[in-house]
Amino acid sequence: MTIQLQDFAKQILFGTTIEEKLSFPREEIVDTDPGSAIKTPRHLSRPAHLSLRENGVKATHPSNAKLVDEKERGRLLHFFGNHELLATELMALVLLKFPDAPASFRRGVLETLKEEQIHTQLYINRMKQCGIEFGELPLSDYFWKSVSSMEDPLDYVTRLSLTFEQANLDYSREYKSIFEKVGDPSTANILDKIYRDEIEHVGFGLKWFRRWKASGKSDWEAYRDRLTFPLSPARAKGNHFNTEGRAKTGLHPDFISDLRIFQQSRGRTPSIFWFNPDSETYAARNSSEGLTPGSSTVQNDLEFLPAYLSKKDDLLVMKRQPSQEFLRQIQNFGFHLPEILTTDPNSKVSTAPKLSRKIGDLRPWAWTPDSVSFFEKTFELVTRPISSTTLWNDKKKLLFSKSWSLNWGKQFAAESLVNDWIAPAEVYGQSAESLEAVTELRNRFAESGYRNIVCKAPFGTAANGIRCLPADEEMSSEFLAWITGIFKTQGSVIVEPWLERVFDFSLQLEMPGKELKTIAFTRLANNARGQFKGIVTNAFCKGLAPEIVRFLMKRIEGRPRVYHWYEETVVPRLSVALQKSEFKGPLGIDAFVYSDLSGNLRLKTIVEINPRYTMGRVAHELGEHNAATSIGYFQILTRSQIRKTKTPRFSDFAENLTRQHPVALTNETKPRIVTGSFPLIDPTTAEQFMAIYHVRKRIDELPI
């Protein structure tokens, strides 16, 4: 007695009982009459209690403590069982959809189908022992919808064998280990069998994938090209990447390496990040015309830094893809990687890459005319309404001016006279619109005892927007050229007395709605002229002079007063001011403690308000990866600084650094950095700037 393969496949696909789905005939199965191709049925035939739903139960990574409970184990096995049954049904579908596929391929699908039936039955039996009946929980249709629309056998092996079954190389091994740890060898043995079978299944799909893929392309290139959103290589991975199992399937090491570092959203609507550090330039001009966004060396060298701000599944737009070696290193150190999108190198206009999926949020370094122009064609993809006029207008421009920070801080200080530890309004300085006005202010501050002054461009960064003018120095030709240029382009400069700073810090904030949310306080390391050197993480007060610690940490209502001051007084007031500008997004406040003319410590509450991401925010996110007792230091070095180390090439410098200070990680599920130094950007592409992160156990071991 014999039975035709197509009849057996129809029994499985169109059966309405679990017995029809899982029974394998005793008769010999022959394939002499494959029949005509069918279309994918609109609805999958199943018993009513096993019907699929869009809102079916999805698995979450369970804790060991939860899996001690047999019911929790049964719930997890219920999810696994549905996947195995779906795999069985999809294999029946491929046999019926593609009757003209090679006979050896069809025979291989049949053998795999039989193993999937066994897997399903094993899960059903075990979940029943755990007190869960199959069909007791809602069943998700995602797996079916992702694969059943296949148009040819190549789609089948790409989506099922190389994506979902490859992911099970991770999941089956991971959960086998979990069940062993909670004392459930029966379930662990089932998962071990499934793991060994999946190696064969992926290998089978890989063989046919290589036979049918586009010629002239690597496995990885062909695989990525063949998958269509929402499927992506990210779906071919579990929580713990299993290199060994993939090697056993026959996957090439390069494919395995590329997959390991690949990231793309697996369902969460992602945010898109983009580094535009020249935002103040565009804010001052109130336009992006005449300039090329994304063309500066700072932007080109440091464009990977927003990766440390991103969350899992987010995207980062860059001009150049970092090297695989660099990305693997960052991933090995415990950082997740965003999906990287590259801009068109041949385009004369700097715009975000075209996308066909929904976006949760757009996250440039700053919303200024350059980023509005860059993302304008992406607005329609964002899930919430967005327009260029709300992102950039005269109110937003005003926030970027240091004059706004000056006036707000000055008024706030004038209203805070009852606090003798807060800097008075007069140290905030004022604007000057001519050289004569600068000289007049210089003389006025000198009469008050402040002999040195600092001049700031209303729009500008610390690197190019600030000039110090000591009392014993005349205005040099270089200074005059700089200030004349600022008067011409921005109309005024800010003149402030130079204060004897003893401690610099910044406050990282986020305004998602109408109120500012405090993210972190970060400690800044500046040079004698107040210019940025680096940022210390996880050590706000460590190593400071005792009098400074006492000044900052004096208790008010149970909280250190510096925290209490900002959280209870400054931030609520600033929230109200920002609401008037309809501001939303990241924001940073720079501040410092100084020694006044009488030798008393004072806090200058507001030095600058930056309505954008800051390096302090990057440093804070880096510090989240430190071990509990370790201290970090984030710094940006220039090429001239690197040359002094006698390793002129950035790549050589980075290699020496990581060799001298290798990274050591904690032995945890989510490892943390105990010690070590490493580059935060790809050293092989850097030209003028290099971002470095150092982690040590003591602050005096850091290169501050």
Whether the CA torsion 224, 227, 231, 237 is positive or negative: it is: negative
Element (H, E) at 338: none
For the domain covering 63-261, report its CATH number: 1.20.1260.10
* Beta carbons of 352 and 376 less than 8 angstroms apart: no
Q: What is the Cα 182 distance to its own chain's centre?
A: 33
Q: What is the Cα 579 distance to its own chain's centre?
A: 28
Residues of the chain with CATH 1.20.1260.10: 63-261
Q: What is the Cα 46 distance to its own chain's centre?
A: 41
Instruction: Kindly state the tokens that stand for 426.
Output: 């007069």
* Beta carbons of 383 and 360 less than 8 angstroms apart: yes
Measure the CA angle with vertex 96, ends 109 and 207; round to 5°. Answer: 30
The pLDDT assigned to 57 comes to 47
3-state secondary structure of 317: strand
Q: What is the Cα 455 distance to its own chain's centre?
A: 37
Note the helical H segments in 98-184.
103-129, 142-147, 153-156, 165-181
Burial 129-150 (b: 16+ CB within 10 A, else e): ebebebbebbbbbbbbebbbeb
Distance CA 80, CA 492 (A): 67
Long-range contacts of 327-335 (CB under 8 A, 24+ apart): 327/261, 328/257, 328/260, 328/261, 329/678, 330/680, 331/260, 331/261, 333/625, 333/663, 333/665, 333/673, 333/676, 333/678, 334/625, 334/665, 334/670, 334/671, 334/672, 334/673, 335/307, 335/308, 335/625
Q: What is the Cα 575 distance to its own chain's centre?
A: 27
Strand-pairing partners, residue 469, are 453
* Beta carbons of 588 and 506 less than 8 angstroms apart: yes
What are the mean pLDDT values of the chain's consecutive 10-residue runs (704 residues total)?
93 95 92 93 91 62 67 90 96 96 96 96 95 91 91 96 95 92 92 96 97 92 87 89 95 93 76 94 82 76 97 92 93 92 81 88 95 93 88 93 94 84 93 94 92 91 77 89 92 94 96 93 84 91 94 94 95 94 94 95 96 97 96 94 85 92 89 96 94 96 91
Distance CA 338, CA 313 (A): 6
The pLDDT assigned to 58 comes to 52
Measure the CA angle with vertex 171, ends 170 and 176; round to 5°. Answer: 105
Distance CA 112, CA 106 (A): 10
pTM of the model: 0.79
3-state secondary structure of 435: helix
Q: Provide the residue count of the chain.
A: 704
Residue 597: CB atoms within 10 A of its CB come to 11
Distance CA 296, CA 294 (A): 6
Element (H, E) at 352: none
Strand-pairing partners, residue 364, are 274
Closest of 583, 680, 584, 694 to residue 309, by C-alpha: 680
Residue 292: CB atoms within 10 A of its CB come to 11
The pLDDT assigned to 419 comes to 84
Element (H, E) at 677: strand 673-679
What DSSP line would sit under 239-291, residue for residue?
SS--HHHHHHHT--HHHHHHHHH----SSSPPEEEE--TTHHHHHHHT--TTS
